[in-house]
Amino acid sequence: MFKSLSNRIMFMHLTFLTFSISIYSVQGLQCYACSSDKLEDCSTLHSDEELPLELCSSEDRFCFTSIENGITTRGCLSSSKKRICSENSCSRCKSNKCNGEIFPEDRLICLHCSGSNCVSQGNSIDVRFPCVNYVPNDECYSIFSHDGKTAYRGCMSDTDQNKGECLGHVQQCHRCSNRACNANSLELEEKLSCIKCTPDGNSNCNILEDFTEAVECARTALGYKNRCYTHSKDGISHRGCLYEANTDIFKECSDENSERCFTCAEEGCNDTSIPDGTQSQ
């Protein structure tokens, strides 16, 4: 009787073990499956949400993460996808959810933000994460607006319009290639004072009173060197700080060949009429 009971218990253990193995075989390996061209988190791992999972077939023994044309792809390494790891930068592993690490390990990490809050984001961990696109020798960038009220930070491999601010203002754009190196703080240019005069019913600003004093300009972000200007059109002049001028005057006075605008970079230097010949000093 005891022998029969012992055999029965052993049979039940074997049955359970066989069933467990069968269940595991049916379930197979679990791998993260995504592509960064459709889901940026696939490369940045920035979100708190888990990446999508894929249940591999019983024949798939590896999870993979690969880079092809800058795009990060994760999934089960099936026979149809083995080319991915033979032709591209690839990492393989063989345990559940093992392909959820940053790849490659040297992927550049930069600050990513834009707008007014981005000006003071230098120490924020929330905006530090890997570049979406993997490009060898990638760079981080940061650029501030001339008044220092707005900033843009990201990777030079980014495809969004924020990078355009950097490309459009090369001299003002800070580029670097170390981890989170675009966390630089706002720096300002040296102070400058200019004669400020807007024409009204009492004056056309062509001739200044002897007691007219220069007034300090609003300081600009580093790289945006301010200048004093005198702009004359139809017998009427405007004087002031270049980065405080309206759009039309700013555009014309930024042109070194303009015949209607004189600019200079000394204290109160725009106190005379527009000289003949060279317009800027």
Length of the chain: 281
> Phi-psi region for residue 219, left (φ > 0), alpha (ψ -120 to 50) or beta?
beta
Do residues 248 and 254 lie in contact, with contact meaning Cβ atoms separated by under 8 Å? no
> pLDDT (tens digit, 9 = 90+) per residue, 127-181?
999 999 999 999 999 999 999 999 999 999 998 888 888 888 888 999 999 999 9
- CA 230/CA 209 separation, integer angstroms: 15
Q: The pTM is what? A: 0.77
- CA 65/CA 134 separation, integer angstroms: 13
- CA 67/CA 167 separation, integer angstroms: 26
- CA 126/CA 44 separation, integer angstroms: 12
Percent composition of the chain: helix, strand, coil (DSSP 3-state, to 5): 25, 25, 50
Among candidate residues 102, 125, 201, 116, the one with its CA nearest the CA of residue 151: 116
> pLDDT (tens digit, 9 = 90+) per residue, 36-80?
999 999 999 998 788 999 999 988 889 999 999 999 999 999 876
**What would you report as the CA-atom Rg of the chain, rounded to the nearest whole angstrom?**
32
DSSP single-letter state for residue 221 = B
> pLDDT (tens digit, 9 = 90+) per residue, 197-222?
988 877 778 877 765 789 999 999 99
Burial (Cβ within 10 Å: 0-12, 13-18, ≥19) of residue 11: exposed
DSSP single-letter state for residue 74 = E
Among candidate residues 134, 129, 126, 131, the one with its CA nearest the CA of residue 65: 134
